[in-house]
Chains A and B, each alone.
Chain A
Amino acid sequence: MPEYGVDAAYDRGDTVCVIGAGMSGLLAIKNLCEYGFKVDCYEKDSGIGGSWNITQRRSPMYANTHLVSSRTQTEFPDFPMPDDWPDYPGHKRVLSYLERYADHFGLRDHIWFGSEIERIEKADRGRFDVIVKPTSGSAARRLRYAAVVIANGHNWNPFVPEYPGQQAFRGEIIHSSSYADSSRLRGKKVLVVGAGNSGCDIACESATTADRTWHSTRRGYWYTPKYLFGRPSDQLSQRMSWMPKGLRHKVTEYVIRRVGGDPTRFGLPRPDHHMHQSHPIVNSHILHHIGHGDLEPRPDIARFDGRHVVFTDSSTAEPDLVVLATGYRPSYDFCDPELLGTTTGDDGFPRLFAQMFSPSSETLSVAGLIQADSGIFPLVHWQTVAIAKWLRIRASDPERAKQFRDRVVTEAGTRYTDGKMNDSPRHRLEVSHDLYLDSLARIIETLDKESDGA
C-alpha cells in the first residue's frame, strides 16, 4: 500500500465529493450546489466533458459522432440547447453545450483537474475518505467527505470479446474505442462487429470509404430511422406517451416496418424480440448501404482462421481490419465491490437502488450508470436532483431518512425495463426511460414529503 498518512485525513466537513466532470459529474455539481452543498469534484483529465471531449484519451467518440436522440429530447430540463441548433448535434456542439453549462453555473470553481481517485473508503458516521492522486505525480492526499457521488462514466473501459483463433489472426484487430475517423479504413477490407450505435455508425462510414465492408451482428435488430415523417423519431414517439404501453409498442413497430421496410429482404435476420425489449439502434443508413451492396451483413463470428473470419452460418470473410464495436464495461477499481452491491458473476455491474443509490452505504451514489431508449441527459439530471434531495434530508434528519433508506436496501437491483428485456450484458444498464422517470418521480415525491414534514 502506498503511504497517504492514514491518520492525516483532511476533513472537508459537509462537503460532497463528485468523481468525474463529464456530463453526469457536471449535473451532480450543479444540482448539489443548488441544494446548498459545498462540492469538490475530481477530474482525471485536464478539461470537462468526459466522453464528449474527443481530445481526451479515453473518449469513446469518433470524428463523426452525433447524438442518436434528438436535441429537445436530450437537453437538460433546466438548460435547453440553443434552438437554432440542428436536430442531432455532433460531439463538438455537445461538448460546447457542456462547457456553457459549466460556465453559466460557475461549476469550474469546484473542479480539481488532473486528479485521479485512487481509493474511496468508509469512515465513521457514514463519511468517506477519498484518496486523491494528482496525475502530475505528486503525492496522494487523503480527504474526508460527508458523501461521495461517483460519476466516472461507463463508456471508457473497452470490452473485448475472445473468439477462437483470434490470437493467430493475421489481420489487424482494434476496438472501436481507438477508432478516430474513416481515414483508417481507406483501401482496406473491413469487418465491423457489433450493432450498437457505434458499430452501426462505423459500418456506415466504412461502407462509403473502405474497399469492402462486412457487418457482423448477433441477431436481428430494429433499425429506427432518425426521422419519421420529417420529424426526429424520438419526438414523435414521446408524443405518443399518452397511449397505453401495448398499443404504443404496436404502433411504433408498425410504423418502423412500414417506413424502414422488411429487414429480411436485405438479408438480415428478423428481429427475435419486440422493439422495446432491446436497446434501440437509431440509424437511417444501414439498410441504405446494404441495398447499395456496400455493406454485407453477416451473423456472429464463430472463429478466426488464419487470414479468415468464419461466421456462424459457415460463410467467411477475409478482412484486413476488424473493428470490434463491442461496447464498454463499467469500472470502479477505486472502491470495494461490496459498496456497489457487485457480486461475482455480475461482470462488474453494480446492483444499486434505482440504479443510483448504494445498497450498503447511505452516502454513496452513482450518477449516470444507465442506458436508455432515449437521451440520458435528462434522466441523469433527475438522478442528481434525487441524490441532492436525499443527502439534504439525511443531513437534517437522519431518523426520518431511515424510512426511505429501507426502500433503498430492499429494492436494490430492481430493473426498470418493459417485461422481457434481453438479458445480454450490454442490457444490464438498460432502462425504459418512461418507467425510470416514473420511478424517479416517486422517489423525489417521497423525499419532498419527508422534507416537508421535517
Chain B
Amino acid sequence: MSMDVWRRRYGSKPVSPVDRELLSSLPDLDPDDDKPLAPILCVTGDSRGAGAFTEHWLPRIAERGRAGYAVSVRGQGGTPKADGGRDGRVHDIVQAAVSLPGRAVLIGHDKAAPLVARALTRYPAEAAVFLAPKGLASKPSDPTGSPRVLIAGSPDDRAAPEKVLDKAATAYGGAPLLFPGVGHDFMNDPGWKAPLDALLDWLDDRGE
C-alpha cells in the first residue's frame, strides 16, 4: 500500500458506518480437510447489489468448495444510503472483506470494478477479478500485497466493449479473458455458468 493513500485517509473525516447487506452461501466443508480455499466477495454496480448474485453465483461458488459472499455498498440493494460518496462505497467493500474468515478474492462487476480497484489499494486481497468493468480506464494506485488480477468480459457486451477491457488489462498487465455469447449481466444471463466456472478454475489454479 502506498503510504500516501493511507495518510490521506488517516487525516480525513471517517465515513459514517452503515448497516451493510452481506449475503452468503457457504460450502459443506469436511473438517478433516486442510486449509479452506480463499473466500470470494462479489460486488456489482447494478442497483440490485448483493441480490444479483444470490440466484446462481453464490450457490455455485459454494458448490465449488469456497465461501461465496456478496455485499451491497451504501445506497445499493439492501444497504441504506449514507455519506462518503465513492470513498464510502470503497469503505463498504473493505469492511466486508476484512469481516470474512480469510484473505478474500474480490470480484468487481460493472461500475463496481473501479471501486474494487480502489479497495485493492487498501486491503491485501488474495486475488481480484474485474468483470465487464465500467469506468476502469486506469489503475488508481498499485494494489497492496501484489494480488493476481484478471480482467474478464464478453466480446458481445456493448456496455463493456473489448476496447475498454484491453485498456483495463493493460493497466494491470495482462490480456482480458473473453467469454463470447454472454451479455453484460454475467450473473443472471442464461450463459452464466461457463464464465463463472472458468474464473473459479483460474483461482483454483494456484490453490487460492
Contacts and interface: CB of A to CB of B under 8 A. Distances in A.
Given A82-B99, A235-B14, A437 B3 contact: yes
A104 B102 contact: yes
Contacts of B122: 77-78
Given A34-B124, A83-B95, A382-B3, A239 B12 contact: yes
| Cβ-closest 8 pairs across A and B | A83-B17, A77-B6, A72-B14, A241-B11, A238-B11, A441-B3, A34-B145, A84-B17
A319 to B, nearest CB: 43
A109 to B, nearest CB: 8
8 contacts: A72-B10, A82-B98, A83-B17, A106-B102, A106-B103, A238-B10, A239-B13, A378-B10
Contacts of A241: 11
A440 interface: yes
Contact of B98 (A79, A84, A106): A79
Interface residues on B, range: 20 to 34
A80 B10 CA distance: 11
Interface residues of A, number: 26
A84 B17 CA distance: 6
A70 to B, nearest CB: 9
A282 B94 CA distance: 29
Interface of chain B: mostly helix, strand, loop or mixed: loop
Interface in A403-454: 437, 440-441, 444
B186 interface: no
Interface in A97-115: 100, 103-106
Nearest to B124: A78
Contacts of A83: 14, 17-18, 91, 95
A183 B19 CA distance: 38
Q: Choose among A72, A80, A100 the residue with the greatest number of B CB atoms under 10 Å from its CB.
A: A80
A79 B19 CA distance: 19
A117 to B, nearest CB: 28
A73 interface: yes
B158 interface: no
Interface string A50-78: 00000000000000000000001100011
B123 A79 contact: yes
Interface in A220-279: 235, 238-239, 241-242
B95 A105 contact: no
Interface of A: 34, 72-73, 77-80, 82-84, 100, 103-106, 235, 238-239, 241-242, 378, 382, 437, 440-441, 444
B159 interface: no
Interface in B1-45: 1, 3-4, 6-7, 10-14, 17-19, 35
Given A83-B91, A238-B11, A239-B11, A78 B17 contact: no
Contacts of A100: 98
Given A80-B94, A238-B11, A104 B103 contact: yes
A167 to B, nearest CB: 49
B100 interface: yes
A444 B14 contact: no
A73 B35 contact: no
Contacts of A79: 98, 123
B95 A444 contact: no
Interface in B49-103: 91, 94-95, 98-103
Contacts of A34: 124, 145-146
Interface in B99-126: 99-103, 122-124
Given A34-B124, A103-B101, A239-B13, A82 B95 contact: yes
A239 B12 CA distance: 6
Contact of A440 (B3, B13, B100): B3
Contacts of A106: 35, 102-103
Given A73-B10, A83-B91, A239-B11, A444 B3 contact: yes
B144 interface: yes
A408 B154 CA distance: 53
A83 B35 CA distance: 28
Nearest to A231: B13
B115 to A, nearest CB: 16
A78 B101 contact: no
B91 to A, nearest CB: 7
Contacts of B1: 77-78
Given A104-B101, A106-B102, A437-B7, 15 more contacts: A72-B10, A72-B14, A82-B95, A83-B17, A84-B19, A103-B101, A103-B102, A104-B103, A235-B13, A238-B10, A239-B12, A241-B11, A242-B11, A378-B6, A440-B3
